[in-house]
Amino acid sequence: MRVYLDNAATTPMDAEVLKEMYTVMESQFGNPSSIHAHGREARSLLEKCRKRVATLLHTSPAEIFFTSGGTEADNMAIRCGITGYNIKHAITSHLEHHAVIHTLEAMEKSGLIKLSFVNVTSKGEIDYEHLEELLKNNDRSFVSIMHANNELGTINDIERIGELCEQYNAIFHCDTVQTCGHYVHDLSKLKVHFMVCSAHKLHGPKGVGFIYISHKVKIDPMIYGGAQERNMRGGTENIYGIAGLAKALEMAYADMSEHQQYIQGLKSHMMNRLMAEVPGIHFNGETNPAKSLYTVLNVSFPEMEMADMLLFNLDIAGISASGGSACSSGSNIGSHVLNAIGANPDRPAVRFSFSKYNTLEEVDFVVDKVKEICLVNA
């Protein structure tokens, strides 16, 4: 048996998504910027996909811009949002994806901004009181905080963050790559200026995503070239990928409650078996289902010989997962997220992440193999 439990990294494409993309590849090969019939057909498809996405998110199609994925969308929001409004102070956390942290650090290094890091709890949630203090004690800020952490699964209260940002006239960018398609995002109510999505995290294709840009903000493009995406993102649109993204998001919303319940059941079953059968394990991040992403489970295992080989041993045993320990020395970088929450650097950590395609039989197989590996290396 080969078990895939690395869905936070990428998900397998749904058969219906592949079917939709194949149909478009066969029939809609025109360039949507061309004015002839083939181009107009492609343009019509593009705008229908934009409307499908916008409708699901309760926003206007004019606020949805297609990109190559989450990293580009994060960079666009941060770089263009900060420079467009001449903002000199930015706030983020040490738990963010590197697409956010590295971009902000590069801007600080260039002298464009002062960067502040909001405190985080040992479970990986931001300190809302400290966030308010940072907002209060600085001029207008740019705030970049993710919805749910990609390593821990801990969920931040983005409604509360949005309220604070509005109170202090800050611009709020939210990385929702891990939660878009897994939770409802109602942009008619959520007080966020930028939100991003990557299709391959919700059973869509790689290399395509979108950025929501609120009508309340106006920015210049990050990528210049043609007049594509209403002059906001140069480059011929990835029509096939965009069609796959729209289909994947529609399917995710249609079956969201069912999938949440099913996948949470898999996660809870794995947690219960690990607690009962693997002495000394510890779950990193929030374990309360109401505050934790149901697709992600981060586990620290007891100290063991060859701890740095745990993922390799899991792979040999037929299990695809990811993770890593907190940094224990200068010889390895470790997980910046686990370091930030003070995880024990001597304990190997693994992130198991689930999807609708996983089964209870697979979870039991993984736990059995984990027990064997821990026993051998104890």
Burial class (CB within 10 angstroms; exposed 0-12, middle 13-18, buried 19+) of 378: exposed
Predicted local confidence at residue 31, as pLDDT = 95
Amino acid at 75: N
**φ, ψ for residue 174 (rounded to 5)?**
-120, 120
pLDDT digits (tens, 9 = 90+) for 330-341: 445 678 999 999
DSSP secondary structure of 236-276: ---HHHHHHHHHHHHHHHHTHHHHHHHHHHHHHHHHHHHHH
Show the tokens assigned to 268.
């809870």
In angstroms, how far is CA 172 from the centroid of its own chain? 16
From 80, 174, 197, 327, the catalytic residue? 327
pTM for this predicted structure: 0.95
pLDDT digits (tens, 9 = 90+) for 285-307: 999 999 999 999 999 998 876 65
Q: For residue 116, what are the contacts with CB-CB under 8 A and spacing of at least 6?
A: 89, 90, 91, 92, 134, 138, 141
Residues of the chain with pLDDT under 70: 305-307, 324-333, 376-378
Cα–Cα nearest to 363, from 283, 287, 263: 263
Quick check: is 180 catalytic?
Answer: no
Q: Give all domains of the chain, ordered by start, each with its CATH number.
A: 3-11+255-377 (3.90.1150.10), 15-254 (3.40.640.10)
For the beta sheet containing 322-323, the strands, ordered from the edge strand earlier in sequence to the opposite edge, are 282-284, 296-300, 349-353, 322-323
- Rounded to whole angstroms, how far apart are CA atoms 233 and 216? 19
